[in-house]
Structure 1
Amino acid sequence: MKILQAITLSALLLLNISKVCSQEDKKTKDFFNSGGYISEGYALDRNQVRFNQSSDFVFHHIPNGNLICITSKQFRAHAFSRHYNCILSKDSNFIAYVSVPPIFCGDKDSIYADFSFKTGFMIEMNTYHLEIIKGDFFRNTGERVTSLCDLPLIYKSSKYARKAFNADTVITYPLRMWENLENKYNHCQVMIIQKKRRGCIALYCFYNDKGAKKLSHYIRSLEHVFWYREPKDYIEVIDPPIIDEYEIPHLKAKERSANN
């Protein structure tokens, strides 16, 4: 019942969040607001990240964003999901699925991200990206991660992070491909971009053998596509209304039906 409530609540949130607007380019917002339980256009705005279109890529929305190709067999029922927006190289040898966890912080001085629509659910925003990494390897290998030191992580320099994305941290790591994506892509590398108190962006990058030879070029082309704004450049963002799941009529009806 709790899972059903969460799914229904997420759907209602999407309807509300789709009405959220900012002062950014409408074409960009149309792209990122096209899917997801919580639209990534809203999440980018909420995290104060600017999205800059690149001439090296074209952009796609994919209705079914379950990345079974990097999910171990025992976790296929919980595959990497909710990845709807993609950045595709013009030669089609590289594609990056974009994931933008939203940050809802009630207290601007707090180190926690408060998901206000889910009572009591809080995460430490400055370390959330590390939990994403652990979760990625858990679903990818089927083995629980005990220490990040055991993982094949590459930490980019802080100088690079600031220059490329105005971020604090950039981490990359490979994931095993259990099957080809779209019968074409047979390599996967993840890039995590993070800034203190501003959340993170995860790019799940897939490429074929031809793309592997140009991987450094694709990565350079991704620089500045996502840019954490300086405080003086912050935009106004309208948060969606808080929904009390116990006030949703059809949830009450389903709960009564299940109890009978």
Structure 2
Amino acid sequence: MKILQAITLSALLLLNISKVCSQEDKKTKDFFNSGGYISEGYALDRNQVRFNQSSDFVFHHIPNGNLICITSKQFRAHAFSRHYNCILSKDSNFIAYVSVPPIFCGDKDSIYADFSFKTGFMIEMNTYHLEIIKGDFFVNTGERVTSLCDLPLTYKSLKYARKAYNADTVITYPLRMWENLENKYNHCQVMIIQKKRRGCIALYCFYNDKGAKKLSHYIRSLEHVFWYREPKDYIEVIDPPIIDEYEIPHLKAKERSANN
């Protein structure tokens, strides 16, 4: 009977923890319910990233958009429209297109990010953001990337990554603008935010000449908008009750026999 009770209690605890782990951040879901193949809200939830609305930006949704402006001519025929969630500055001189790519590794995707039993998969997942960077430059320039060392990448410090996004890596790089976006934005800078075992977030930041003068302000305002949550933030830890050793039956019996 005691064994059965213990098994039942363990099952209930596991069920409770699984419910807590699988909870979606309602605010994230509301903002990023794009209705695409894999919604960005879902990907953020799976990677345990919290979205915090900034007072310096408004949320903007583009139902059928494409980024032809940063796509080289040989790839434009293959460009497709998709839903985009954007963060727009209140002065409209800066807009960041948000992309939360699912982690496709063979037949796996980001839904398996919780499992670490496959070393090869974990290595592939933790370096997936580098493939995104190579892909961006390939589509932007039409030339295959042989080495990241040849690219104009800026690596932010680990201290900055942790402070700004609770991340491990922040990389920025410019992309060539083949034409203006919305006949307004003529500059593009990409920011890749990544944390080990959590996937990455890509922000395609577009701005005009006025926005270029305030770019550092916009980048600072983006800090903490995306925040990689710690396990203690979303996993409920249930401490077992403290039981005095003298209340345990077999110890009581041992104590009585010792006194006799």
Coarse TM-score class (shorter-chain normalised) = 0.7 to 0.9
Q: Which stretch shows the higher mean deviation, 205-214 or 36-45?
A: 36-45
Unaligned residue ranges in structure 2 (runs of 5+): none
- Partner secondary structure for residue 77 of structure 2: helix
Q: How far apart are 1:234 and its partner, in Å?
A: 2.7
- Mark the CA change 1:163 to 1:154 in structure 2 (over 3 Å): closer, same or farther: same
- Partner secondary structure for residue 111 of structure 1: helix
- Partner secondary structure for residue 50 of structure 2: strand
Q: How many residue pairs are counted as aligned between the two chains?
A: 260
Contact persistence 1:103–1:114 (CA under 8 A): no
Q: Which stretch shows the higher mean deviation, 59-68 or 102-111?
A: 102-111
Contact persistence 1:105–1:113 (CA under 8 A): no
Q: Which stretch shows the higher mean deviation, 15-24 or 80-89?
A: 15-24
Q: Which has the larger radius of gyration?
A: 2
- Mark the CA change 1:27 to 1:47 in structure 2 (over 3 Å): closer, same or farther: closer
- Mark the CA change 1:179 to 1:47 in structure 2 (over 3 Å): closer, same or farther: same
1:131, 1:259 → 2: CA distance? Answer: 72
Contact persistence 1:5–1:251 (CA under 8 A): no
1:118, 1:79 → 2: CA distance? Answer: 34
Q: TM-score, normalised by structure 2?
A: 0.74
- Mark the CA change 1:64 to 1:217 in structure 2 (over 3 Å): closer, same or farther: same
- Partner secondary structure for residue 85 of structure 1: strand
- Partner secondary structure for residue 113 of structure 2: strand
- Mark the CA change 1:62 to 1:122 in structure 2 (over 3 Å): closer, same or farther: farther
2:216, 2:131 → 1: CA distance? Answer: 26
- Mark the CA change 1:16 to 1:181 in structure 2 (over 3 Å): closer, same or farther: farther
1:161-190, Cα deviation, whole Å (9 max, x unpaired): 000000000000000000000000000000
1:127-148, Cα deviation, whole Å (9 max, x unpaired): 0000000000000000000000
Q: How far apart are 1:64 and its partner, in Å?
A: 1.5
Q: How far apart are 1:14 and its partner, in Å?
A: 28
1:3, 1:190 → 2: CA distance? Answer: 56
Q: How far apart are 1:61 and its partner, in Å?
A: 1.0
Q: TM-score, normalised by structure 1?
A: 0.74
Q: How far apart are 1:204 and its partner, in Å?
A: 0.2
Q: Which stretch shows the higher mean deviation, 109-118 or 33-42?
A: 109-118
Match of 2:186 in 1: 186
Contact persistence 1:111–1:126 (CA under 8 A): no
1:56-87, Cα deviation, whole Å (9 max, x unpaired): 00001101131000000000133376451000
Unaligned residue ranges in structure 1 (runs of 5+): none
Contact persistence 1:14–1:39 (CA under 8 A): no
Q: How far apart are 1:152 and its partner, in Å?
A: 0.1
1:247, 1:47 → 2: CA distance? Answer: 44
- Mark the CA change 1:166 to 1:72 in structure 2 (over 3 Å): closer, same or farther: same
Contact persistence 1:20–1:239 (CA under 8 A): no
- Mark the CA change 1:109 to 1:33 in structure 2 (over 3 Å): closer, same or farther: closer
Q: How far apart are 1:26 and its partner, in Å?
A: 3.2
- Mark the CA change 1:56 to 1:124 in structure 2 (over 3 Å): closer, same or farther: same
1:237, 1:72 → 2: CA distance? Answer: 51
Q: How far apart are 1:207 and its partner, in Å?
A: 0.1
Q: How far apart are 1:92 and its partner, in Å?
A: 0.2
- Partner secondary structure for residue 201 of structure 1: strand
Contact persistence 1:116–1:242 (CA under 8 A): no
- Mark the CA change 1:247 to 1:91 in structure 2 (over 3 Å): closer, same or farther: farther
- Mark the CA change 1:9 to 1:198 in structure 2 (over 3 Å): closer, same or farther: farther
Contact persistence 1:68–1:80 (CA under 8 A): no
- Mark the CA change 1:104 to 1:181 in structure 2 (over 3 Å): closer, same or farther: closer
Q: Which stretch shows the higher mean deviation, 124-133 or 109-118?
A: 109-118
2:249, 2:146 → 1: CA distance? Answer: 43
Cα RMSD between the aligned structures?
16.2
- Mark the CA change 1:155 to 1:5 in structure 2 (over 3 Å): closer, same or farther: farther
Which has a greater percent of helix? 2
1:93, 1:40 → 2: CA distance? Answer: 24
- Mark the CA change 1:190 to 1:256 in structure 2 (over 3 Å): closer, same or farther: farther
- Mark the CA change 1:150 to 1:249 in structure 2 (over 3 Å): closer, same or farther: farther
1:97, 1:256 → 2: CA distance? Answer: 73
Q: Which stretch shows the higher mean deviation, 80-89 or 236-245?
A: 236-245
1:14, 1:36 → 2: CA distance? Answer: 32
